[in-house]
Structure 1
Amino acid sequence: MKKTHFLKLYASTFIMMLLAVFSLHAQVDFMEYNGKVIDGKSKKTLEAVSLNVNETNISTITNSEGEFTLKVPKKYLDSKVVISILGYNTRVLPLSELSKKDNKIMLYEAITELSAVSVSAYKNAESLVKKVFNDKNKNIQDESVYMTAFYRETIKRRNRNVSLTEAVVNILKQPNASFQRDAIQLGKARKSTDYRRLDTVSVKLQGGPFSAIYLDVMKYPEYIFTDETISSYNFSFDEPTTINNRSVFVVSFTPKNNSLSINYNGKLYIDVNTLALVSANYALDVSDINKSKNLLVRKKPSDVIVYPLEANYKVDYKAKGNKWYYSYSNLSLKFKVNKKREIFNKVYTLSSEMAVTDWEVNTADVRIKNKDRLRPTVIITDAISGFSDPNFWGEYNLIEPDKSIQTAIDKIRKNIEKQKGKAKTVNGIP
């Protein structure tokens, strides 16, 4: 046998072996479940429902249309999934009862009755809220935790998507009592932006994964309540509710007057037994445009004024043992950009959300190096090619895109195909 022929045969065999190895590693090591969660009575879809694999920290949430995708490592296929949301009875289903696609899970509203002792213990809603924040270190995560989370951010001009960012990030969550800030590392990301339609937004918006993590009001109370400002709000009890079969106080709050530079109104959901914050939903008071103008930007040209029209925030916590951990947050900002010497104002909406999909106590003392840490001013680099791969996220859990986001992704994929087609024509490839 000639030497050259032998080498070719050897190379061919070696490549086949490599392909076999790659194929072995490429085998899917998880099961994927898709479906929708709905109200069992009204049949309306339910948003931000948590689906958690029992006795693990693997989870996901439903999107704005009640849809979910849950990826479960095969070693946990004998487990159950816990489906829960505020105000509804929790359901626990064996994974073996779920099909791979088109699952329809129904939840039913819970009837909550607090005992006379619970009601009489806290007649003053303000004193209850103060106790929640003063005693937070007793109930909230008190160790370093390493989290994996899925982040999505969209920017719309009017009703048209002009920017879409998705990322898997690693979060080094510092102990709640620590003065150290949480660190975030970018794991995998893709982004597509139509800069032609963002030409008037030459401002630095307060966005990115840090905007979502800073909604953790137990770790960063200064962004909503401080010892000085908490007394500037009126607090009152609403009808109680339930989550995971636990009774929850519902406390509404509104500003007493217009003395604060930033005012909020909203609801706090407080676990009756532990007095831990379960969830918070609140909104920025944008009624005074002189106070709120330029509030949502860090940097802008001198001839641009940004007026917030809406600013809504939400954060959820999840219990593990006797401690509560940051689980999910989202924000929705609608703002008007007014540029001098331009007749028409531009209206934009920025929405972002982040869901923790897995986590573990940082017993190994894992750290994120300074060079790998994202900065609060980060702009995630464009990686448009990621949208061409429908299996881009692999085993990572994510928030299923709603129809508007899916439409945007489909358009990006079509544009990529067009670009590939043009490239082939230019290169003379038929």
Structure 2
Amino acid sequence: MPVLKRHFLLLWLVLLAMPARAQLVLRGRVLDAETHQPIPNAQVGVADNRIGTSTNDAGRFALSIPPAYAGQPLTVALLGYQSYRQMLPPLPGPELLIELKMSPAALGEVQVTGSVLGIVREAVARIPRNYPGRPTQLTGFYRESDNDSLGRPRYLVEGLLTVYKAPYPQRTSTGEVQIRQSRKVDLRSDKLVRIDWAGGPFIAHLADFVHRRAQFIDPGHFRDYDYRLAPGSSYHDRPVYVVTFAPKAGNRRADFAGRMYIDQDTYAFLGAEWRYTPAGLRHSPNLADSRALRVAYQPYAGRWHLKTVWWQTRARLPIGPPLNYFGEFLTTAIDTAQTVRPGYLERAQYHDVFLRNAVAYDSAFWRGHTTLLPPETLRQALLDQQRQHRADSLFRPVAAGDSTSAKDAPQTLFGKFLSRFRYGGMVGAWPLSVAAAGLAVAYAPDGYGFGFQADNSVKAQSFSVYSQFEYQFELTHELAVRLATQRLYGQFRADGWAAGLSYQRNFRPRHRPLYGRAGLAYTRQTAGRELGTFANPDAGLRVAGTHLGADELSAQLQALTEALQPSLGLGLELSHKLELVADASYLLPLRTRTRLQISEESGFFLARSAAVINLPHPDVSLRDNGQLTAALPWQPRPWLFSIGLLYRLR
């Protein structure tokens, strides 16, 4: 491990235990009143849950209290327990000990499936009245880690997010996320094979089963599930339906199995926990062996808002042992008034890897915001791995003050190269003007017993469709070198390439980028017409100085155009990695040639040769509708149009 990485890990673990200084901090521990055992995942709220946190595995929490909330009540709630409520004690102060009492079960086992489904239907129907009907903004703490088969974190990333939520009557699983701060420890020693998970912070949208109307509460899938009532419980001293769901016998369309909690009075979904069925894993887009989630909501201002998300995925990889991917999100503040959507530049993109985000680490920032206290096992695992990496570094010396080892250097240089690399595909209209014609071609070289005659008819057309695959390497943020390959489709066989420079300038630097594009390239394009294949009677045949000894030959009439290609266009950034581009180009011909190409058709394809005869030529007779000519009935026109996508690797 590089020296700076070790120092950062030690500093981070110290800061995890430090009290916040920017605001007053309430520290406490929540225990079961009868067993005196710690209670994890209890919801701790202040000011009727406008700000809050949750307890860790040891039942402990730390909540930063703004001075304006010093006189507000403190509440602690967990499903199955009586809620706790008292006024905030004077701060700073000692750790507050809170004991929760169990609530008796409200219902016994009920097996009437129809009535249980009616409860779920009613809860779905009441989503518009139980959840926010206007945009809301959540501030939340996010953590993800990639653990090995022994449960040790290979990396750990934490961040403070702003999550914009659309109104819940609108069914959606998407939304905006802004990364305000982040910190990380990367303990992975392997450099060649790395799995960097994308989309993690978006779990605040993707796992919100009420907002997205997950399959198990989607009326279109009710027929796929069995719903049953389990023994009831209570939350905030209110009775709760506990509804289990699982695929019906033999059903392969149901992706989930688990349980959900529904308030008996308001029919609000208070939370759910579920796992993916084998069918659900097959329908997932990644290599997962298992996947489980747990989601809870909390009340504020008469509505229910997302509180916590926990999920774990066990993924099998093509190389190496399986990995356990773990993550959690915790809402620490709710704002129903300041809900201005973040601008495009401030928003994270789903395909951005949170582990590599560019937000700088600020220790003072973290001491002033609520985070979820890490479990003791997680802190111990990080320390153990840090010690092991320190021992490993004894055998791999690193120069003092050098934050990058020699082993890391090639990866860093390669990463810098990739960050400047883009590629993409386009389709467009190639301006190939074609007049209807009947062609007759005869070729009879002197001194050989080889020759052929071919008749061919050409249909009239005004343009051809072409595709282009393009590579770009950015010299600066605005200037790039580009190389493109082109292919025409239709009645002609045509290939070509273009090389040059591309320049783009952002017209909207404070919003979603809209680029003006300009370019200049040299292009070489052929448009050919196949004349057929012929037997070669002479193994020593030479055409235009090229030996063609294959048993079978083919012939093609071609128009070859070499030109300068200036272009203008627009580019719209769809995400930080993907750009939609549209260009108009003008061909300035440098040279246009008509030629006959004769190629070998048999033998190993890498060793096949081709000969080109420029027309007019005494050995070639070309007739167009019976008239001798040296010109072809298809010629390029100047304008080209294309539209496509460019993708940035990093």
Instruction: State which of 44, 59, 83 in structure 2 corresponds to 1:90.
Output: 83
- Over residues 5-33 of structure 1, what are the superposed CA-to-partner deviations in whole Å (9 max), with x where a residue is unaligned? xxxxxxxxxxxxxxxxxxxxxx9442112
Structure-2-length-normalised TM-score: 0.53
Partner of 2:74: 81
Deviation per CA, 1:330-374, whole angstroms, max 9, x where unpaired? Answer: 1111233244xxxxx512111111111001113x55121112211
- Residue 212 of structure 1 and its aligned partner are, at CA, apart by 3.8
CA shift, 1:110, in A, is: 0.7
Q: Deviations over 1:93-144 (max 9, x none)?
A: 3321787444332111112446x9xx9x997101111221133112111111
User: Equivalents in 2 of 1:150, 1:87: separation in Å?
Assistant: 25
1:34 maps to 27
Is this contact kept in 1: 2:239–2:263, CA < 8 A? yes
Change (3 A) 1:32 1:285: same
- One-letter code aligned to 1:106: E
Q: Which amino acid aligns with 2:264?
A: V
Shift in Å, 1:44: 2.1
Write the deviation string for residues 168-190 of structure 1: whole angstroms up to 9, x where unpaired: 00011110123563211110001
Partner of 1:350: 325
- Please state if 1:232 is matched with 2:224: yes
Instruction: Give distance in 2, aligned partners of 1:170 and 1:307.
Output: 29
| Pairs within 5 Å for 1:118-157 | 124-157=115-148
Distance 2:133 2:259 in 1: 25
Q: CA deviation at 1:425?
A: 6.2
Find 1:401's aligned residue among 374, 386, 389: 374
Amino acid at match of 2:135: S
Deviation at 1:422, TM superposition (A): 5.9
Asked if 1:59 corresponds to 2:52, the answer is: yes
CA separation in 1, counterparts of 2:54 and 2:199? 21
Question: Contact 1:141–1:323 (CA<8 Å) still a contact in 2?
Answer: yes
- Distance 1:146-1:382 versus aligned 2 partners, 3 A rule: same
Contact 2:116 2:228 in 1 (8 A): yes
- 2-structure distance, mates of 1:78, 1:153: 34
C-alpha distance 371-133 of structure 1, shift in aligned 2 (>3 A): same
Matched, 1:376 2:347: no
Structure 1, unaligned runs of 5 or more: 1-26, 298-305, 340-344
On the 8 A contact 2:171/2:212 being kept in 1, the answer is no
From the superposition, tell whether residues 84 and 425 of structure 1 become closer, same or farther in structure 2 (CA, over 3 Å). Answer: closer
Instruction: Say if 2:272 is the partner of 1:272.
Output: no
Aligned partners of 1:187 and 1:355: how far apart in 2? Answer: 15
Once residues 360 and 388 of structure 1 are traced to their aligned partners in structure 2, the CA distance between those partners, rounded to angstroms, is: 24
Q: What is the TM-score normalised by the length of structure 1?
A: 0.78
2:247 match: 255
The answer as to 2:281 corresponding to 1:292 is yes
What's the counterpart of residue 305 of structure 2? 325
Question: Does the 8 Å CA contact 1:192/1:382 hold for their aligned counterparts?
Answer: no
- Is the 8 Å Cα contact of residues 168 and 189 (structure 1) preserved in structure 2? yes
Q: Which amino acid aligns with 1:367?
A: R
Query: Quick check: 51-60 or 221-230, which moved more?
Result: 221-230
Distance 1:387 1:347, change over 3 A: farther
Q: Provide the C-alpha distance between the structure 2 equivalents of 1:258 and 1:89, rounded to a whole number of angstroms.
A: 40
Report the RMSD for the aligned CA atoms in angstroms: 3.4
- Which whole-Å CA distance do the structure 1 matches of 2:251 and 2:384 have between them? 47
How many angstroms apart in 1 are the aligned matches of 2:118 and 2:180? 42
Counterpart CA distance in 2 for 1:71 and 1:195 is 33
- Structure 1's 83 and 359: CA in aligned 2 closer, same or farther, altered over 3 A? same
Q: Tell me whether 1:193 sits opposite 2:178 in the alignment.
A: no
Listed one character per residue, the Cα deviations across residues 241-265 of structure 1 (whole Å, up to 9, x for unaligned) are: 1111111111111110343345211
Pick the aligned partner of 2:43 from 50, 55, 62.
50
Query: Which one-letter code corresponds to 1:379 in the other structure?
Result: V
Deviates more, 1:63-72 or 1:265-274: 63-72
User: Which whole-Å CA distance do the structure 2 matches of 1:209 and 1:32 have between them?
Assistant: 26
Q: Aligned residue pairs: how many?
A: 376
Q: Which runs of 5+ in 2 are unaligned?
A: 1-19, 404-650
CA distance in 2, matches of 1:426, 1:166: 25
Partner SS state of residue 188, structure 1: strand
1:397 match: secondary structure: coil
Supply the distance in 2 between the matched residues of 1:426 and 1:252 (Cα, whole angstroms): 56
| 3-state SS in 2 of match to 1:125 | helix
Q: CA deviation at 1:412?
A: 8.3
* Structure 2 CA distance for aligned equivalents of residues 234 and 313 of structure 1: 19
| Residues in 2 aligned to 1:378 and 1:368: alpha-carbon distance in whole angstroms | 17
Q: The residue matched to 1:239 in structure 2 has which SS?
A: strand
CA distance in 2, matches of 1:206, 1:90: 37
Residue identity in the other structure for 1:45: P
Could you say which residue in structure 2 is the equivalent of 1:5? Answer: none
Tell me the amino acid that sits aligned with residue 281 of structure 2.
S
In 2 relative to 1, CA 35–64 (structure 1 residues): closer, same or farther, beyond 3 Å? Answer: same
Identity %: 19
Kindly indicate whether structure 1 or structure 2 has the higher relative contact order, using CA contacts under 8 Å at least 6 residues apart. Answer: 1
Deviation readout 1:382-422 (Å, 9 max, x if unpaired): 48998894x55122111101113323554688779x99x96
One-letter amino acid of the counterpart of residue 182, structure 1? G
Aligned residues of 1:71 and 1:397 also touching (Cα < 8 A): yes
Given the superposition, is the C-alpha separation of residues 426 and 370 from structure 1 closer, same or farther in structure 2, using an over 3 Å criterion?
Answer: closer
Q: What amino acid is aligned across from residue 87 of structure 1 in structure 2?
A: G
Residue 244 (structure 1) aligns with? 236
Does the residue aligned with 1:51 lie in a helix, a strand or coil?
strand
Contact 2:39 2:57 in 1 (8 A): yes
Structure richer in helix, relative to its length: 1
1:315 counterpart residue number: 295
Aligned residue identity for 1:214: L
**Max radius of gyration: which structure?**
2
SS at match of 1:126: helix
SS at 2:262's partner residue?
strand
Aligned 8 A contact 2:48 2:75 in 1? no
Structure 1 position 271, deviation (Å): 0.5
Once the two structures are TM-superposed, the CA of residue 322 in structure 1 deviates from its matched residue by 2.9
Q: Does 374-383 or 144-153 show the bigger shift?
A: 374-383
Q: 1:385 to 1:318 in 2, by over 3 A?
A: closer
How much does 1:65 deviate? 2.6
